[in-house]
């Protein structure tokens, strides 16, 4: 768990971050969202001491980060930057091996772990291990960068605009994969973005920032349905409907879905957003989808008409 308490950062007379506080629970993804220059990257870099806070306290899993050596601290915190940060003269395998070598891992263990991660990220080791970064596409480089950040299985992962340099189609695809990666399920993640859709798709919790301060923080659903001030209201104005559909999961409308008595295999889980379900209905050109869930024994059927009715009902209620 990360706890930031009243942290600030001054760069000479510029106050980049002003007394902000937040908590990120284990296994949760928190997104720092805001326009350029609002202090997102500075906030992120204070968590692994790439930048030292001017004042305030930060603890990670109960340890005060200022009492640790920055280099030691960073071994337990994976970091992915926007420009991937790969060493251009190292192959993919060599890039992945940098941290394990520092940790004194044996060659076999490094190879085994690199292979496992690259497979998860759909870059088979045999095909990609010996390639250099400039032989990879932007999306592939970001995957390698993610694999490198994850290789020593750090409990915390910091990501600074990880998909920022990618085109919108690649970006949307890689976001979907990211959400489903088993490796990330238990990680405590802080992700910086200026892309509201990305924030709503990936964040369990979003901190909306402006001029070095947190303007509002909460679940995507709370931010879009209950903006607390004019800044939050106007920030989401242009995409309100889409974001509302992205912020609500099928669980929210579970009681309005009809049962699926004879279904065997679910098409989607109840964690899927209303928007996600609409996209899949359209992609599959299907009239209905079976919704299942590990935690819920019954399966249900979702259709476009049910989503529309339930969503209108929710909008009228709020």
Nearer to ligand ATP, 175 or 194 (CB): 194
Structure tokens at 45: 């870099």
Please state the closest distance from residue 287 (CB atom) to ligand ATP, in A: 42
Q: Are 183 and 113 in contact (CB under 8 A)?
A: no
Structure tokens at 148: 């490198």
Please state the closest distance from residue 24 (CB atom) to ligand ATP, in A: 18
Please state the closest distance from residue 217 (CB atom) to ligand ATP, in A: 15
Nearer to ligand ATP, 158 or 248 (CB): 158
Please state the closest distance from residue 5 (CB atom) to ligand ATP, in A: 19
Residue in this structure with the two tokens 């609002």, named with its chain if needed: 38
Helices (H), ranges, the chain: 40-47, 70-74, 92-102, 107-120, 125-128, 138-150, 168-180, 196-202, 220-225, 230-235, 240-247, 274-283, 304-317
Nearer to ligand ATP, 11 or 87 (CB): 11
Nearer to ligand ATP, 42 or 217 (CB): 42
Nearer to ligand ATP, 12 or 255 (CB): 12
* Radius of gyration (C-alpha) of the chain in whole angstroms: 21
Nearer to ligand ATP, 131 or 211 (CB): 211
* Residues at the contact surface with ligand ATP, assessed by CB under 6 A: 11, 14, 16, 34, 36-42, 194
Please state the closest distance from residue 213 (CB atom) to ligand ATP, in A: 12
Instruction: Give the three-state DSSP class for 64.
Output: strand
Structure tokens at 273: 């957003």
Please state the closest distance from residue 75 (CB atom) to ligand ATP, in A: 24
Contacts of 95 (CB under 8 A, 6+ apart): 86, 87, 133, 144, 148
- Go through the chain and tell me how many residues it has: 318
Phi-psi region of 39 (alpha: psi -120 to 50; beta: other; left: phi over 0): left
């Amino acid at each position: 768990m990360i706890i930031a308490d009243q942290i600030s950062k001054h760069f000479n007379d510029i106050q980049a971050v002003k007394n902000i506080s937040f908590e990120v629970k284990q296994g949760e993804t928190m997104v720092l969202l805001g326009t350029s220059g609002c202090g997102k990257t500075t906030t992120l870099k204070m968590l692994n001491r790439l930048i030292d806070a001017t004042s305030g306290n930060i603890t990670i899993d109960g340890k005060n980060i200022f009492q640790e050596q920055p280099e030691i601290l960073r071994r337990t915190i994976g970091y992915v930057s926007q420009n991937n940060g790969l060493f251009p003269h190292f192959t993919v395998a060599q890039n992945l091996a940098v941290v394990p070598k520092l940790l004194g891992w044996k060659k076999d263990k490094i190879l085994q772990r690199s292979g496992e991660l690259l497979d998860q990220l759909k870059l088979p080791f045999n095909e990609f291990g010996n390639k250099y970064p400039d032989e990879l596409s932007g999306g592939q480089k970001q995957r390698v960068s993610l694999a490198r950040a994850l290789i020593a299985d750090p409990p915390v992962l910091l990501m600074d605009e990880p998909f920022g340099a990618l085109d919108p189609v690649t970006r949307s695809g890689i976001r979907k994969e990211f959400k489903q990666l088993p490796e990330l399920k238990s990680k405590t993640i802080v992700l910086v973005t200026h892309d509201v859709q990305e924030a709503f798709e990936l964040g369990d919790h979003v901190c909306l920032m402006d001029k070095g301060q947190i303007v509002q923080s909460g679940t995507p659903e709370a931010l879009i349905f209950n903006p607390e001030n004019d800044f939050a209201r106007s920030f989401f104005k242009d995409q309100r409907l889409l974001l509302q559909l992205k912020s609500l999961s099928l669980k929210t409308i579970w009681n309005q879905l009809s049962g699926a008595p004879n279904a065997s295999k679910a098409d989607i889980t109840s964690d899927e957003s209303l928007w996600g379900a609409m996209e899949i209905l359209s992609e599959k050109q299907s009239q209905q989808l079976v919704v299942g869930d590990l935690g819920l024994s019954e399966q249900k059927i979702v259709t476009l008409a049910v989503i529309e009715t339930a969503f209108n009902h929710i909008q009228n209620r709020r």
